[in-house]
Amino acid sequence: MRILSAADILGASDYPALVEALRNAHREPPPMAERTLMRSSGRGSDSGFLIWPAWREGAALGIKIITIFPDNPQRAAALPAVQGVYQLFDGETGTPVAMLDGIALTFLKTAADSALGADYLARRDVDTMLMVGAGALAPHLVRAHVALRPAIGQVLIWNRSPARAEAMAAGLGDLGRPVAVAHDLEAAVRAAGLITCATGARAPLIRGVWLTPGTHVYLVGGFTSEMREADDEAVRHGTLFVDSRAFTIDHCGDVTGPISAGIITADDIAADLFDLAAGRHPGRRDDREITLYKNGGGGHLDLFIACALFERCKSGTRG
């Protein structure tokens, strides 16, 4: 069994190749997948234990195990808030074939998911991207979009802590295009044609009245029903897409909130990635349509990317 560290995984990363692997996997029938989230019962604690198994019969199966301890960065050891591993098995024999760093895998999976969704839903002439949030995932999201969309001429970063946005902008100095910190979120939203949010927000940050015609919004956070990144007005203004109906309708606040409020029903979700990749939905219909894409994640996505990374690492392919 191979052990693939974060360095191994990130060294084998190639965003266009991973996006194509994800696209091709979505043209096949969905694998079996489940989700279990255990939350701490301690007062004042927001810790969690997330388990995501998936099984594509005859091909591969795997399970991602993630711990979420928000207080870790404040501890003396400054441990990461999120840690985990991914175990990959052979689909014909059930033999363990690889253990992968779960966080690096998640970064690449989410970035590829985002870029693939935008490939169907964002305008081709988008030249300004806004990244809302400056956590560890955010640089991967930016790099994936720029790799798939070289027409992006500038990147804006907004974060509650401007210092973190400044640090992220400095780290993206090799992109070959301007990367600037946005201090006014409303102005940045109005200026951007492609907006990606990756935050832990519990109250909406993106307001529907700020969205201009033709904007594409990708929502990564909001992985519980109590979390929101966009308001109800954004859903009213735009066409809603998801990466997977199975992992968004029941637990993602940006979908469950508008459904609970009667703004939409589950039937108002236009399509998911399986529909888009298979051609059952055309994606963006015109240059003035506002599109919203909610990432609900799911074990099937981790399985798809784990298989692609494992094959790249086996062959010695580097990003």
Closest CA to 242 of 300, 285, 292: 292
Give the pLDDT of residue 190.
98
Tell me how far CA of residue 41 lies from CA of 33, 45, 176, 298, in angstroms. Answer: 26, 7, 47, 24
The low-confidence residues of the chain, meaning pLDDT below 70, are 42-45, 318-319
Give the pLDDT of residue 81.
83
Could you give all domains of the chain from N- to C-terminal order, each with its CATH number?
A: 2-105+300-315 (3.30.1780.10), 110-298 (3.40.50.720)
Give the pLDDT of residue 319.
62
The token pair at 43 is 């007062």
pLDDT in tens, 100-131: 999 999 999 999 999 999 999 999 999 999 99
Give the pLDDT of residue 44.
56
Q: Which amino acid is at 149?
A: R
